[in-house]
Structure 1
Amino acid sequence: MGAQLRVYKRRIRSVTATKKITKAMEMIAASRVVKAQRKVAASTPYATELTRAVTAVGTGSNTKHPLTTQAETVTRSAVLLLTSDRGLAGAFNSNAIKAAEQLTARLEREGKEVDVFIVGRRGVAHYNFRERKIAESWSGFT
C-alpha cells in the first residue's frame, strides 16, 4: 500500500510541475503576442506613408512595366501558406490551412489557375497527405 501511495504522490508532483511549465510557456507566448502587436501598431504610419509615396511616384510616371500596370484578365494566382514546422502553435496551423484552402477553392471557382506555395512542415504534410499539388515548399526554419 505504501508503494502505491508513493507512486501517486510522484505522479501528482509530475503533473503539478508540468502545469507550471505550461503556464510559464503561456505567459511567454502572451508577452510575445503583445510585443508583436506593438510593433505592428508602430509600423502602421510608416506603411501608410510608404504606400502614399509609391502611389505618388507611380501616378506621375508613364512607365509601361508589367509590374506597374494592371492586367486586363488575370488567369493565374498564387497562394502562399505559412505554417510552423512543429506544433505548440494552437490553432494557428489549422486556421492558416483552412484559409488557404478556402482561398484556393474561390480562385478556382473564378476560373483561375492556382499555384500553392507552402512554408512550414505542417502545411507541407497536410497537402502531401491529401495528395494536393504544391508548386514549391520550404521548411526547416524553426
Structure 2
Amino acid sequence: MENAVFANGFEDHIEGAEAWYALEKIFSASSKARVMQLRLEFQTTRKGSLPMMEYILKLKNLADSLAVIGEPVSDRDQILQLLGGLGANYNSIVATPQHHKYNKKEHFNRNTSIYNRNNFGFNPGRGLNGGRSRGSHNNRP
C-alpha cells in the first residue's frame, strides 16, 4: 500500500486530508470494479450441475459480499436470480410463483368465513353480542 501512495516521492508534501483523498482515488476505482465483478457473477450464476444447496450458498455468499461493500441485493432480486438460474429442469417450480397472485381481500374473506362457520358467537350482521348495545342486557330479543 505504501508503494502505491508514495511511489511518486511526494511523501514529504502530503497532509492528512490529502492522504485520505489519494487513498480514496486509488481504491475507489478498484472498489467499483469489485462491485461490478460481484454483480456480474451474481447475475450470471446458474445452477448447472451444482448440487442445489451449493448453488443456493453460492448466490447467498455473492449477495452477502455485495452487502458488505455497501451494495446490498434485495430479497426479491435474490429470489428472482435463484429461480432464473435453475434451468429447464425446474420450469414447473419457477412457473408456479409467477402465476400465483396473493389477494389480501380474498384471503381475509375466506378466513372470516371459516371463523364464522365455526360458530364462535359472531354474527356477521349483528356483531359479537347479537346486535345489542352495551348495557342492554335486559332488552334481549
For this structure pair, what is the TM-score category when the shorter chain's length is used for normalisation? under 0.3
User: Higher strand share goes to which structure?
Assistant: 1
Task: Select the structure with the greater relative contact order (CA < 8 A; seq sep ≥ 6).
Answer: 1
Asked which structure has the greater CA Rg, the reply is: 2
TM-score (norm 1): 0.25
TM-score (norm 2): 0.25
